[in-house]
Amino acid sequence: MRMQASRASKVWALGFSSLLMASSASAVTAPSEADSSLSGIAASKIGIRTLRTEERESLTESLNSLAAGGQAAVKLDGRSGAPRLISGAPLMFTSSLTDATEDDYIRVARRYVEEHASELGFSPSDMKLNANATLLANDVQFVSFKILRNGIEIQDANVDFRFKNGALVQVANKSYSEAKVAAGADDHLDLQGVVEKALTPKSVAMTRELYRVVPEGRGYKLVRVAEFNTLTQNNKLYVVEVDAATGEMFEVRPTEFNFDGVAKGEVYERTYYKQKAVTLPYRDLYISFDGGGISTDGDGKFTGLPNKAEPAVKGFQGKLVNVEPSSGELVNVDGDKAGNSWTLEFKRSSNEDTSADKAMAQSMTFYHLNKEIQHAKRWINAKWLNKQLTANVNIEESCNAYWDGSTVNLFSAGNGCANTALIADVFYHEWGHGLHANTSGIDDRAYSEGFSDACALLLTRNNLVGPGFRLSNGAPVRDLKTMKVYPKDSNTEVHQEGLIIAGAYWDLFVELKAQHGEDKAVEVLSNFVLKSIFTTHSYTDVYDALLTIDSKSGKSNDKSENFCSINKSFSRHGLAKLDKTCDAT
Ligand SMILES: [Zn+2]
């Protein structure tokens, strides 16, 4: 027996609807990532509408009829006044079940509805079992039904029957049987055409029709919608619902849930030589997946990965650094998933010779160039620091590295030398040439060598440049303690001449460290080295520039904060006149 006629008049026309508060019953969750295919659709239509009702206790005993012969505690919908939660102990005296099957509980549930169809506003024929929601435990037993109207399912409409020790004690009635179907579903509308016009998708297929419950006035209405699986030009799948009465877009719902992850891997903190590999996160690294890509943040983390995507690192490419191996295999890392989170972890092969490892060379270069860029960004904002820098690694030559005017180039192991990408000092230095070329410009080659050694010093905090470069004894490329003085040692080989300024910076670092401690010394020296490269064209210009950078007052006669540290260090290398107020030790 259908109870359509009684809907809207029988139960909720009980005279207290005027006491009811309107409640907000709909929330839209927007997708985390914008899809340009949706640009023509109102933002309010994109996302997932969630229907939540607010309920209030009944003020009347007139609903006791919902408990057969007993008292029912009833909560009413705060908007429509329909009975939402009916509790009683029990609701049906005749229905205490023992050793019952699922069918027995279903039968009781249907009978309850049949006996109270006029109050509930629907009948057993409107119920469709949701078998997945059945729980038959020792203490409680639950059965649940989806609710149909005119044979079509209503989204969000469920009725749940809760039994305690076999007795029906609670009915949660979200049937929305009080809602009327919005007028005028028009079968002549071309609903698929609406989707095609709005999204210009790659493919679209209608899956079903259903009703959506929409809050309206003091109640709800049912909107009949047609649902389409829609694949956009960006390869994203949406469920698109179109109002069958008006042909308007009802909801564009992403099918993808987003996953998080982290990318990390083994690197040496400085060099393969006498150091153990450690695992550290890769910042600003591209993670690729079928049909898309995503980047890690400053902590190596990423969010917003589509649910079916299988992320992978296909070579070390990122926003700021692109590592191109000339030989050896491009590093590929597949993800491991645990829960909602992916981990992409590069691990060094234990079979590789540590001084020649071509995979580790890629990891090292990517990690440390990013580290150097971030370090520099703390003091300077050169445009070059925001451009992607290419580093060619595993070049099939040996015992060198170079800056070619636009890229960093690092050689493979051989002829008694390690792979130069396994020693961060080496490409810290080559990067320094890149910064020099992209700030004041490299007019003075010896200055560029000395400046680049100083760039390595800022990160290594060490006088040696490139420990482990020579395989036989681990000898570095240079030692900043090598005493070189201007003008005596000028006009020699450029790297040797560069030690005049690099040595002055090293001495300054030692002075600052004694004064401020190592961390502060690195801060002060970074400020000097990185800022002065914008405004100096020869290493003999640096001293005066540093006094300006170090000055608090800006008055050139005032001694700057670190005046004596700078003066002593630079005078030792012939780059300044020793000031008599500074101790010359
Ligand atoms: Zn160089």
Q: Using one digit for the tens of pLDDT, what is the confidence trace for 432-464? A: 999 999 999 999 999 999 999 999 999 999 999
Span from the CA of 475 to the centroid of ligand 1 (angstroms): 17
Rounded Cα distance, 504 and 248, in Å: 73
From ligand 1's centre to the CA of 424, what distance in Å?
A: 14
Which of 81-85, 121-125, 306-310, 314-318 bottoms out in mean pLDDT, i.e. has the lowest? Answer: 306-310
**Confidence category of residue 62, pLDDT binned at 50, 70, 90:** low
pLDDT of residue 339: 78
- Does pLDDT of 526 surpass 80? yes
Write down the pLDDT at residue 33.
53
Residue 90: how many CB atoms within 10 A of its CB?
A: 21
Q: Is the pLDDT of residue 27 over 70?
A: no
Which residue in the block uniquely carries the two structure tokens 């290398």?
573
Residue 51 predicted with pLDDT over 90: no
More confident position, 101 or 17 = 101
Q: What is the pLDDT of residue 72?
A: 79
**pLDDT tens digits for 482-506?**
999 999 999 899 999 999 999 999 9
Instruction: Summarize the confidence of residues 102-107 as an average pLDDT.
Output: 94
**CA 470 to ligand 1 centroid distance, Å:** 17
Distance CA 503, CA 417 (A): 25
Please give the domain boundaries of the chain with CATH numbers for all domains.
Answer: 4-22+50-177 (3.30.310), 257-337+344-422 (3.10.170), 440-585 (1.10.390.10)
CA 494 to ligand 1 centroid distance, Å: 9
Which tokens is 574 given? 């012939």
Residue among 267, 241, 237 nearest 252 (CA):
241
Read off the amino acid at residue 366: F
Q: Please give the distance, rounded to the nearest whole angstrom, from the Cα atom of residue 177 to the centre of ligand 1.
A: 80
Contact in structure between 476 and 465 (CB atoms under 8 Å): yes
Give the ranges where 86-231 is alpha helix by DSSP (H). 102-115, 117-120, 191-199
Give the percent of the chain with pLDDT over 90: 66
Give the span between the Cα atoms of 307 and 32, in whole angstroms. 13
State phi, psi for 292 to the nearest 5 degrees. Answer: -175, -170
For residue 21, the one-letter residue type is: M
> Higher confidence at residue 134 or residue 34?
134
Inform me whether the pLDDT recorded for 233 exceeds 90. no
Per-residue pLDDT, averaged over 391-395, amounts to 98
Distance 152 CA to ligand 1 centre (A): 75
Span from the CA of 549 to the centroid of ligand 1 (angstroms): 25
State in Å: Cα 498 to ligand 1 middle.
Answer: 9
Top-ranked range on mean pLDDT: pick from 22-26, 301-305, 522-526: 522-526
Return the higher-pLDDT residue of 322 and 91. Answer: 322
In the reported structure, the alpha carbon of residue 286 is separated from the centroid of ligand 1 by a whole-number distance in angstroms of 29
Cis peptide, bond prior to residue 487, ω within 30 of zero: yes
pLDDT for 97 beyond 80:
no
Q: Taking 60 as the threshold, does the pLDDT of residue 416 lie above it?
A: yes
Check residues 294 and 436 and name the one with the higher pLDDT.
Answer: 436
Instruction: Give the distance (Å) from ligand 1 centre to CA of residue 460.
Output: 16
Residue 71 CA, distance from chain mean position = 53
Spatial separation of the C-alpha atoms in residues 314 and 507, rounded to whole Å: 43
Q: Ranked by mean pLDDT, which of 25-39, 199-213, 397-411 comes out on top?
A: 397-411
* Least confident interval from 92-101, 344-353, 575-584: 92-101
pLDDT score at 37: 81
Q: How far is the CA of 373 from the centre of ligand 1 (A)?
A: 18
Distance CA 221, CA 218 (A): 10
Q: How far is the CA of 176 from the centre of ligand 1 (A)?
A: 76
- What confidence score (pLDDT) does residue 156 get? 92
Ligand 1 centre to CA of 495 (Å) is 7
- Give 467 Cα–ligand 1 centroid separation in angstroms: 16
C-alpha 428 – ligand 1 centre gap (Å): 10
How high is the mean pLDDT of the chain? Answer: 88
Which helix (H) or strand (E) segment is 170 a member of? strand 167-174
Res 234: pLDDT: 77
574 CA distance to ligand 1 centroid (A)? 22
Tens of pLDDT along 161-197?
A: 998 888 888 999 999 999 999 887 666 688 999 999 9
Lowest mean pLDDT among 105-114, 294-303, 555-564: 555-564
More confident: 345 or 558: 345
Closest Cα partner for 114 from 124, 105, 104? 124
Cα-to-centroid distance, 456 and ligand 1 (Å) = 11
Distances in whole angstroms, Cα of residue 85 to Cα of each of 58, 66, 123, 158, 293: 10, 11, 17, 12, 47
Confidence of residue 269 (pLDDT cuts 50, 70, 90): very high
Cα 513 to ligand 1 centroid, rounded to whole Å = 26
Distance from the alpha carbon of residue 396 to the mean position of ligand 1, in angstroms:
19
Question: Is there a contact between 276 and 266 (Cβ–Cβ < 8 Å)?
Answer: no
Q: How far is the CA of 431 from the centre of ligand 1 (A)?
A: 9
For the ranges 3-17, 225-239, 259-273, 536-550, the lowest mean pLDDT is seen at 3-17
Alpha helices, H only, 155-220: 191-199
Query: Do residues 176 and 233 lie in contact, with contact meaning Cβ atoms separated by under 8 Å?
Result: no
pLDDT band at 48 (very low <50, low <70, confident <90, very high): confident
* 180-181 and 167-174 beta bridge pairing: unpaired
82 contacts 54 by C-beta, under 8 angstroms: no
User: How remote is the CA of residue 486 from the centroid of ligand 1, in Å?
Assistant: 19
The identity of residue 192, as a single letter, is Q
**From ligand 1's centre to the CA of 462, what distance in Å?**
17
pLDDT band at 249 (very low <50, low <70, confident <90, very high): very high
CA of 514 to the centre of ligand 1 (A): 29
Q: How far is the CA of 447 from the centre of ligand 1 (A)?
A: 10
Distance from the alpha carbon of residue 243 to the mean position of ligand 1, in angstroms: 68
Dist. CA 4 → ligand 1 center (Å): 87
H runs (alpha helix) in 461-575: 494-516, 518-532, 542-550, 563-572
Do the bridges between strand 389-398 and strand 321-325 make them parallel or antiparallel, or are there none, so unpaired? parallel
Share of the chain above pLDDT 70, in %: 90
More confident residue, 531 or 183: 531
Q: What SS3 class is residue 317?
A: strand
pLDDT at 16 over 50: no
